[in-house]
Amino acid sequence: MNNQRPEELPSLVLAYVGDAVYELAIREFLIGQGLGKVNRLHREAVRYVKAAAQAKALFAMEEKLTEEELAVVRRGRNAKIASLPKNADFMDYRHATALEALIGYLHLQGKQERVQTIVGLALEAIAKGRQAN
C-alpha cells in the first residue's frame, strides 16, 4: 500500500481512487437491486456516476460533512482539471471530482464505514433527483 498519508496526496489522485471506489459501490448496489443483465447494469450505473448526478449528491450531503471532509471537498473542487469529458458541464465536473476526492480520501484513511455512509447519502440524493424528474 501507499506510504504517503492521504492528506499529502494531490486532490486528483484522491479523486482517481475515489472514482474507482464509488464506481464499485454503485455496481454492487445495482447488482443488489436484482439487475442481472450487463447492458441494463451499465445504463443504470451511468446514471449514478455521471458528473451531474455526483454534483447533485454532493450538494445534498454537504451539511452532513465534517470540517475535515469539507476541506477535502474544497481541495477537490479547486483542483486544476486538465480536460473535461464531452458530456459534462464544467461546474458539475468540478463538484463530481470533489465528491470522488472525498471518497478516495476516506478510503485511503481506512474509514470504510464513512465511505459507505457517503455513498449511501449519494444514492439517496440521486434517487430523490430521479423521482423528481
Q: Which of the residues are catalytic?
A: 19
Q: Which residue numbers in the chain have pLDDT < 70?
A: 1-3, 129-133
DSSP 48-90: HHSHHHHHHHHHHHGGGS-HHHHHHHHHHHTS--S---TT--H
Domain boundaries in the chain? 8-128
pLDDT of residue 82: 74
Query: Residue for cell digits 461546474?
Result: 91
Q: What CATH number matches the domain at 8-128, 2.60.120.380, 1.10.1520.10, 3.40.50.20, 1.10.1040.10? A: 1.10.1520.10
Instruction: Name which of 45, 50, 103 is nearest 76 in CA terms.
Output: 103
pLDDT in tens, 89-112: 889 999 999 999 999 999 999 999
